Structure formats: C-alpha cells, structure tokens
Structure 1
Amino acid sequence: MDPRPTNYHIVYLQGDFVQIPEVELPAPQTYTQTIYPQTSLAEIHERVRDATVLVLSALRIDATTLSPEISPHLKLIVVVAVGTDCVDLDACRKRGIVVTNCPGANNASVSEHAIGVYFMARRKMLDMCSLTRAGEWPRRKTLMYDILDKDGTPPLTCQEEVAGIIGNGSVGKRIASLAQTLGMKVLISGRKDSDNSNMSNGSSSNQERVPFETVLRQSTVLFLAIPLTDSTRNLISTSEFEAMSPHGVLVNVSRGGIVDEEALVKALEEGKISGAATDVFEKEPAGPENSPLLREGTEKLNLVVTPHLAWLSRKTALNYSQILKKSVEGYAKGDMGDVNVVCG
C-alpha cells in the first residue's frame, strides 16, 4: 500500500446527508475539507480532483471518475450508507483505493419504515386519508368498500399475515423480529434457485430458511432487504408476481432495480397482488418522467412511495457520523479494525 499522505483533503459530495465529525489524525498528519451540500453527476469530476478522501451516500462513482487522470490523489472512499453498489469496486481494487461502508447503521429506522409502509399499503391509508379529507365519507355514508381487496375481502390483521423476508442481514433480521412481535408468521427466504432449504440463517432463533419459491407462494407480505447485485437485479418480476398471493403486499426498502418496476405496475393493475410500498427506485431521484411507478395513472394503484428516506433518523445520523470518523482516522493510522472494509 502507498505511504499515508501527510495532508488529507476530505471531500463531502453529499454533505446534506452527513453530520460532519471532527477528525483527529496522528501527528504530523493534518486534513482540510470541502463540503458540498449536493453534487450532480456533471460536477463530480471537478470536485474529486483534489480529494484524498471521498465521502458520499448514493452518488454514482464510476471507473472513469476513479481513473488516475480524474482523481489522482484518491486513497479512501467512505460510503455513508449500507449499500456500495454506487461505487465501481473493481476500479477501486485496481488502484488500491480503500472503500468502507456503514453496515447496521440504519437498521432501526429502515426496519421501522418497512413496517410503517406495510400498514399503509395493507389498510390503504393514503386513499382513506384523501377520501376523508375530500368529504367522501358523509357523501357516500361509508368508505368501507374502498379499503377492500378487489375480490371484496377485508384487509388481513398481523395475526393472519405470513411475512416473507428476503434478505437476512441486520435490516432483514430486525424486520423479522418486529413482524413476529406483531403476531406475523415469519419465513426467512433462501436464495433464489437454491435447493438448500434447511440452511440456518445464523440468527439466535435458529430459524431455518425456506426455499425462495415457497416463500413467494405462502407469504401475504413480502419484505425485501437485500443488496443490489447482478444476481438480485429484477429478482422480483412477472413470474414472481404470478406466484404470489392475490392478497400479497410487497415492501421494498433495499435498492431500486431489485424489483422490475414495469412488472410491478402491471401486477397491481391486474390484481396479481393487493398492494406495494417502495422507498427505492431504479432511477433516483425518481419522478413521473423516469419511473414507471410514478407515471400518470399509477396514483390510482395501491402503491405507497417514499423518496429513499427510510434510513433517516437521529440514531442513523449519529451512527453514520461515528463510523465516518473511525474510517478516516483508522485509515490514517493504518488500522481499519473498527470499520467495515468493502475493498482495499
């Protein structure tokens, strides 16, 4: 590894998302910093040119950006988030750039958000709020029929739900725990196309994994909490919606691209599933012009959408700041034992 520099220049590309910590480096090392509240893709190359350390949350850092011509001084990238799919890790490995992230930092807020939007979709709370505010209750005498599924059945209670959990990391485990506390039966999914149905999930409950296809068929609510990789892209698409219960609710708090957005819209339109909620989109920031989930007509679907803010909480912000501080200080000291090194 290259000798540690004497002066570090820390560049925050998305400072709005980070509580900036005071970094303490061992003498004679010093640091300066530049904080950009937000950065567009067009601005990245100019802003990374003098960076020794790059701090970001969910901004695409590709191989061109990581070339010595664009970022000649870059030694460390701190992803102040759990997912690292926004960074070209192969390019980092080739240059010896260290990449760290913040696993587990947001598991409380993301898992609670997942449960919250589940309730919104299951009980069609947004529709009920809008109709009530519009004066439809006294006009129609009852709004009960608007909360029913397309087959006329009332919503399930938690005690009737079967929660399928796809993703068994810290967020998936906490969603499973919350779901069990609410009275749901929980199924932990194995990997898609895997025959290993008895693989332990490593949790303290020793709950065994269930084949992916079985989870799809038996779940009435499906929670997604997995990273975006080549193997998970479009993991949930037309055939998966065909296999799900017509009373099923899909909740995605992981990454856009894991769910085929066109297939999801079609499944909701055709009543293949009862509802869905997503905090993430294939293209972000998402709007009617770049997301099938937000285009004209989708407002009539039982689809709850939030703008990739499930992570946001005081606890998450504090965790991110502490891990960021440890990452920079650990790199400067040559001791990364207290942080999660993704590559380098």
Structure 2
Amino acid sequence: MANPGISASDASAKNFNIVALETFFTPLPELAVPSPHTFTLTEYTRTSQDELHERIKDADVLITTAIPLRADALSVEACPNLKLIAVLAAGTDSVDLAACTARGIRVMSSPNCNADVVAEHALALYFAVRRTLLPTMRDLRAGEWPRRGTLMKGSFVAGKPPRGCRDETAAIIGYGHVGKNLMKLLTGLGMKVIVSGRKGAPAPEGRVTFDEALKTATVIFLCCPRSPETLGLIAAPEFDLMQNDAVLVNVSRGGIVDEGALFRALTDGRIHGAGVDVFDIEPAGPETSVLLGSDAEGLNLVATPHAAWIGGATTSNYQRVLCENINGFISGKVEADRVRA
C-alpha cells in the first residue's frame, strides 16, 4: 500500500493539530502520539455544516463520526494541512473518499467495534416483528382484548400462527463482521441460515444468488455497507419476490431499502413486517420518512433511531481503535483493513 502513514517530509518531530468534530457520539479517550511528535487537541460536541469549514481549516487530523465531509470541505483551500481522517464508525459513507484519495488524505475506519451489539439488535427487531409485539400492544392498550375476547391471532399470517425459530430460513445480505456474528446467533437459535451473493451476480461457493435468497428466506437481515452498488438494493421488485410472511430487518444504512416500497409492501400485506434502524435522511422524523408518519402507525413495523451500535463495549472499542489508528498513521504502521482511502 502506497504511503500508508505520514510522508517522509513529516517524519521529523511535528506538532499535529487534532480536531474532534462530534464527541457527542463517542467521548474521546486520553490521546497520545509517538515521540518525538506532539499534538494539540480541539474538541467539539457537535458540528454543523455552517461551522465545519472554520473548524477544520488548520487541522492535520480530523476525528469524526457522521457529519458529511464532501469535496468542497476537503479541498486544499479549505484544509491545506489535513492528512488523516479517523472515523469513529465502521462505515465511511459520510466521507468523500475520492476527494481524499486525490489529495492523499488517509481515511481510516473503526471496523468490528460494534458487531456484537448490532447483531443482537437485529435479533431484537426480528423477534418484535415476528411476534407482532407493537400492533398487539397498541390493541391491548386500546382496550381491544375485552372487546374482542382475544388478541391471540394478532400475529397470525393467512390464518397460521407465527413461525418459531426452527421453522425460519434466515438470509443474511452483507457477510462482514455483523453478518458473521448474526450467523452464530441465528444458528444457535435453530434457524436455517443462507448467505446471499451480490445482486445480479452468480453466487460464490457456499452462498445462494440474491434472488434465491429473497425467494427462499422467511426472514431477511440486511447488514451490508452503503455503496453505489447497494443503494436501492431492496425496492418493489425485490418485495415481490419475498414470501408473504417474510420479515425484513435492516441494520445496514439508509438508502439501501426504498422506504416508499417498504411502506407499500407493509400496507398491502406483501410481507409480514419489518424492523429498521436506519433511514434515508437522518436524523429521521415524520416529515422526512413515510415509515414514521401517521399512515404507518398501524403497521407491523419496529423502528429505532440508528441505535443498534450502542452497547457496553462499543465505546471502549472505538476509543482503542482511534488511538491505534492515529498512532499507526503517525508511525507509518497502519492496519490495512481499516484504510478506506
């Protein structure tokens, strides 16, 4: 890998200006840099786009999580000294990687820091949707149990009771750290698990084609990164392939599922239900997502606010990897699987 850390011209003792843009998500650990280098640290709890240019103009190193860093903000004129963007997240879709590559700005992510808790959150969404917990609770609180005499059939599909784990075929779309952890959990519960190949491509050995995964699965887990090839991955044609008692769980990124198509599939009873943790526009609300509007209130839909990553070990993992990424970059010994540009 070319130029994995600082360049030869920066090898002598240097003071690095480190700017943390959004410590709201993950508090910073105690930072240090390899001797004889020194650093100056400036921390901001949150940063808006209006504040971005002023805050990064003198930075050598940026620490960020979700704020969009586009080509104009990454130009030589905007941040002439910038050498490293350390992202406290597994995904780097908020950063214009092409602009960074063109300038030689290194971008490093924090993979496998939250894979356990994201897989567990996906499982929680599955159970809530499969058992139709929210619609049943709404009916219960509305006094429907004494009026109807029973709410037992609230989770039935076509007159049939809900599947148990041993009757499920789970398809995993996106077989990275989260997908692998999810495989262990699902297998332990007794589910048959299949792993999908890429959309429109032959399935590699040990996997099934994308279309076969959608047709065969009774529960579909999305845990793939956001990229040009995954945007709009699940839309109306894909919902038409699914079984009518299928459950869709999305813990990947917004934009991978067409929200309008998902709303229609739920409204029409095309699938049994869905659990989503991510949205096209975030922060999301009724004014930005049809999935959160009043028309969605009666659906078998469980929505959480991009919270799957939150867990006891996530913060400490992010803090450890951040220190490793900054120190590795300065010393010229980066972890190759963390480099995104």
| TM above 0.5 | yes
Correspondence 1:69 to 2:72 = no
Please give the per-residue CA displacement for 1:63-116, whole angstroms capped at 9, x wherever unaligned: 001011111221110111111111000100111111000111110000000000
After TM superposition, which residue ranges in structure 1, 4 or more long, deviate above 4 angstroms? none
After alignment, is 246-255 or 151-160 more displaced? 151-160
Q: How does 1:129-208 map to 2 (within 5 A)?
A: 129-149=137-157, 151-195=158-202, 197=203, 199-200=204-205, 208=206
1:262 equivalent in alignment to 2:257: no
Aligned to 2:22: 14
User: For 2:49 and 2:307, how far apart are their aligned partners in 1?
Assistant: 20
Q: Distance in 1 between matches of 2:339 and 2:62?
A: 15
User: Within 1, Cα distance between the matches of 2:306 and 2:50?
Assistant: 22
1:276 equivalent in structure 2: 274
1:247 maps onto 2:245 in alignment: yes
Say whether residues 1:320 and 2:318 are aligned partners.
yes
Q: CA RMSD in A?
A: 1.5
Aligned residues: 333
Q: Is the 8 A contact 1:159 1:183 kept in 2?
A: yes
Structure-2 separation of matches of 1:303 and 1:288: 14
Contact 2:325 2:335 survives alignment (8 Å): no
Quick one: which amino acid aligns to residue 160 of structure 1? D
Q: Does structure 2 conserve the Cα–Cα contact (< 8 Å) formed by 1:323 and 1:339?
A: no
Decide which of 75, 93, 100 is 1:85's aligned counterpart: 93
Distance 2:35 2:112 in 1: 31
* Maintained 8 Å contact 2:174/2:224: yes
The residue that corresponds to 1:221 in the other structure is: 219
Match of 1:205 in 2: none
Distance in 2 of aligned mates of 1:170 and 1:337? 16
**How do residues 271-310 of structure 1 correspond to structure 2 at under 5 angstroms?**
271-310=269-308
Is residue 135–residue 299 contact of structure 2 (8 Å, CA) maintained in 1?
A: no
State the alpha-carbon separation in 2 of the partners of residues 339 and 31 from structure 1. 26
Whole-Å separation in 2 of the counterparts to 1:339 and 1:186: 27
Aligned to 1:203: none
Percent of aligned positions that are identical: 47
Matched, 1:97 2:105: yes
**Any stretches of 5+ residues in structure 1 without a counterpart?**
201-207
Shift of residue 192, structure 1, vs aligned partner: 0.9
Summarize the Cα distance change of 1:38–1:186 in structure 2 as closer, same or farther, 3 Å threshold.
same
The Cα of 1:339 is off from its aligned counterpart by 6.7
Equivalent residues of 2:59, 2:81 under 8 A apart = yes
Query: How far apart are 1:39 and its partner, in Å?
Result: 1.7
Q: What TM-score does the superposition give when structure 2 sets the normalisation length?
A: 0.94
Residue 271 of structure 1 aligns to a residue in which SS?
coil
Structure-2 residue corresponding to 1:39: 47
Q: Is the 8 A contact 2:222 2:250 kept in 1?
A: yes
SS of the equivalent of 2:33 reads coil
Q: TM-score, normalised by structure 1?
A: 0.93
